[in-house]
Amino acid sequence: MKDLWNNDNVQFARLISEAEAIGLFTRKAYEELGREMDLKPDNISKLIDRAQAVFEDSKKRLTHYCKRCGSPIKKNGHCKDLTCPYSDRKQNATFTEG
């Protein structure tokens, strides 16, 4: 939990999810990925859906802990660790500085 950046499950799912969100997975990308991965484009779509589900689940599970330092989050959304930059402001849901 403390070292979210090094959590491959979360970060790989996040990468795929964000790539989908910015429109990186075009029809051409589906076809090329399908060829490279020996999968039908429909299965590429299913993998993207699974990555998004993993990422959404990760976000839900991690909402009660500071994404920067891993300390518990107080009811007001601020980190309990007073040395953490998020001790006086809320974090956003995408694990970025906010």
Calpha distance 7→87 (Å, rounded): 23
DSSP 87: G
Of the candidate spans 12-20, 23-31, 42-50, 71-79, the one that interacts with Zn ion by CB under 5 A turns out to be 71-79
Of the candidate spans 8-16, 28-36, 60-68, 89-97, the one that interacts with Zn ion by CB under 5 A turns out to be 60-68
Q: Does residue 68 bind Zn ion (CB under 5 A)?
A: yes
The residues, any chain, with a CB within 8 Å of residue 32's CB and separated by 6 or more, are none
Binding mask 73-92 for Zn ion (x = CB under 5 A): ------x-x--x-x------
Calpha distance 98→95 (Å, rounded): 9
| Residues within the interface to Zn ion (CB under 5 A) | 66, 68-69, 71, 79, 81, 84, 86
